[in-house]
Amino acid sequence: MSGKVYLVGAGCGDPELITWKGLNLLRKCDVVLYDDLVAPKLLEETKQDCGRIFVGKRYGRHSLPQQETNALLVEKAKEGKMVVRLKGGDPFVFGRGGEEVLALQAENIPYEVVSGVTSSIAVPAAAGIPVTHRKTARSFHVITGHTAADGETTLTENLDTLAKLEGTLVFLMGLHHLEEICNGLMQGGKNPETPAAVISKGTTPQQKTVRGNLSELAAKVREVELEAPAVIVIGETAELDFTGTIPRPLYGVKIGVTGTKSITRKFRDRLEELGAAVTEMDYSTIVPYRENPRLEKELQKISDYPWAVFTSPNGVEIFFDYLKKLKFDVRRLANLNFAVIGTGTAAALEKRGIYASFLPEKYDVESLAKGLCDIVKKEEKILILRAEQGSEILTEILDEAGMNYTDVKIYDIHVDEDKRRFANEKAQEMDFITFASGSGVRGFMENGGAIPSGTKAVCIGSSTAKMLKKYGDYEKIIAETFNVDGVVDAILKEVGK
């Protein structure tokens, strides 16, 4: 049975510019064929078993010829799969969506086109430039800045004709031909004083805009070395500046967030709301123990424990998943009091309908341990459920106080070497790097990792800062509140200086 294909416009730059319909299709599809300019964040919305195939094209290099992309769409649909062809911007605005539709029609493959937000409108708007404005520009014209012809990349339009058009001229994919475009328009009669602009990486935190008149634009762009993708705007509206005025205090600040995927996503979402350019350094992976005889042994005598301790949201999720696997009746936990390290761990417990009996005022392992010593009686047993790399501070303080505990490891944290190398390389570009645990610090620093001069480390708590101290005297900030919001507040305060 034939599958079906959806040609979905991903919008441009900012992943939130995808349409609701496009996002829903992306979440359901079996295979996605995606372009170079598609925001990586969108691919995270696909199912875990979704096939991801990169078919992107950029100036001077193609990953796949268009014919092979067409053939792949047909092939995957004939396998009975739901296919999303995720295209930057809009499928039909210089997106070669028409060629893909013709290939699908030739094979009688069911398809649908889902429009996307085109960079020809969204990118100028992000730079405060409307493509039309009453009494200034009553029309706009979108032109491709280059096309492939006989193996060479050339301009596609008669610039003499374009020079005589009224309204706003918007060139896509034209950065490498900017000087030719400007000179051609002036030779065709366009006033050299015509306002113009080039917007690089529009709608993203890396956005840069160069403004000037037509005669000086190319030289100005060369001077600052703007990078593709870029949109060129020529016309009277390029002189306007309708840039949004809602403050984004971290706009353009480059922040690397380390840890597991669940942690880096929390940081990324919060920081991107404030305008930061976030790089996820998710080199750590949670690996739950599939078989855990030690845990099963303690569960058999769970009534002996008045207290259980969690030091992370991951621990909560893994523990209850293991109970489900064992078909363990959670009513047997009725006599347990739960202690947690912070609000995130408390929230994970609340999802299970359980509210923590103890949450320290300061969300770190030292405060957790000292609090337990204060509220738990010496004769009462404590069951600690945490990672293999759990902080020794917890058990050291409990030992000093003579507390009775059992420390059960329920998961491990593995480091992906390729992702760690990526993190170490990208660290050179960062203004800040966040660390949410001591194990995150170890994962980053092992095998020669280092925080470059001029980059500040932001530690979620004092124990994380102590771990960083073991690797060197790095410039660091410690969050006043030991959670995601505390780290974000610490960065805002530092940037505000």
For the structural domain made of 254-283+416-496, what CATH number should be given?
3.40.50.10090
CATH of 294-413, picked from 1.10.150.20, 3.40.50.10090, 3.90.470.10, 3.20.20.80, is 3.40.50.10090
Average pLDDT over the chain, rounded to an integer:
92
Show the 3-state SS of 77-136: HHCCCEEEEEECECCCCCCCHHHHHHHHHHCCCCEEEECCCCHHHHHHHHCCCCCCECCC
Closest to 107 in 3D by CA, of 77, 68, 79: 77
Give dist(CA 351, CA 355) in Å, integer. Answer: 9
Task: Please give the pLDDT value at position 63.
Answer: 66
Among the listed residues 14, 87, 90, 173, the single catalytic one is 173
Say yes or no to pLDDT of 2 above 90.
Answer: no
Res. 313: pLDDT tops 80: yes
Banded pLDDT at 150 (limits 50, 70, 90): very low
Query: Domain limits of the chain?
Result: 4-116, 121-239, 254-283+416-496, 294-413
Sign of CA dihedral 39, 40, 46, 50: positive
Asked if residue 253 has pLDDT above 50, the reply is yes
Taking only the tens place, the pLDDT of each residue in 324-376 is 999 999 999 999 999 999 898 999 999 999 999 999 988 888 999 999 999 99
Confidence grade of residue 193 (pLDDT, cut at 50, 70, 90): very high
Of 14, 35, 90, 431, which residue is the catalytic one? 35
Give the residue-averaged pLDDT of 136-157: 72
Q: Which of 251, 214, 256 is nearest to 232 (CA)?
A: 214
For the cut 80, the answer to whether the pLDDT of residue 144 exceeds it is yes
- Residue 157 scores a pLDDT above 70: no
Q: What is d(CA 363, CA 267) in angstroms, rounded to the nearest whole number?
A: 17
Backbone angles phi, psi at 342, to 5 degrees: -160, 180
Q: With H, G, I as helix, E, B as strand and everything else as coil, classify residue 71.
A: helix
- Rounded to 10 deg, the angle between the 178-187 and 217-224 helix axes is 170
Rounded average pLDDT over 106-126: 97
Known catalytic membership, residue 418 = no
The predicted structure's pLDDT at residue 389:
86
Count CB neighbours of 46 within 10 A.
20
Whether cis (ω within 30° of 0) applies to the bond prior to 288 is no
Q: What share of the chain is helix, strand, coil (3-state, %, to 5)?
A: 40, 25, 40
pLDDT of residue 155: 66
Alpha helices of 148-212 — where are they, by DSSP H? 159-163, 178-187
Q: Is 3.50.50.60 the CATH classification of the domain at 121-239?
A: no
What's residue 447's pLDDT?
78
The torsion angle over the Cα atoms of residues 212, 177, 128 and 193, rounded to 10 degrees, is 30
Q: Could you please report the per-residue DSSP string of 224-269?
A: HT--SSEEEEESGGGG------S--TTTT-EEEEES-HHHHHHHHH
Question: Do the domains spanning 4-116 and 121-239 agree at the CATH topology level?
Answer: no
pTM for the whole thing? 0.78
The 3-class SS string of 289-311 reads: CCCCHHHHHHHHCHHHCCEEEEC
- Asked if pLDDT for residue 149 goes beyond 70, the answer is no
State how far the alpha carbon of 486 is from the alpha carbons of 185, 274, 300, 480, 489, in Å. 53, 14, 39, 6, 5
173 part of the active site: yes
Instruction: Please give the Cα distance from 260 to 357 (Å, whole number).
Output: 27
pLDDT at 1 over 70: no
pLDDT tens across 43-72, in order? Answer: 989 998 999 999 987 665 556 889 999 999
Catalytic residue among 57, 76, 87, 266: 57
User: How many C-beta atoms lie closer than 10 Å to residue 219's C-beta?
Assistant: 12
- Tell me if residue 339 falls in helix, strand or coil: strand
35 among known catalytic residues: yes
pLDDT at 217: 97
d(Cα 468, Cα 8) in Å, to the nearest integer? Answer: 45
- Cα–Cα dist 64/34, whole Å: 11
Query: What is the CATH code of the structural domain delimited by 4-116?
Result: 3.40.1010.10
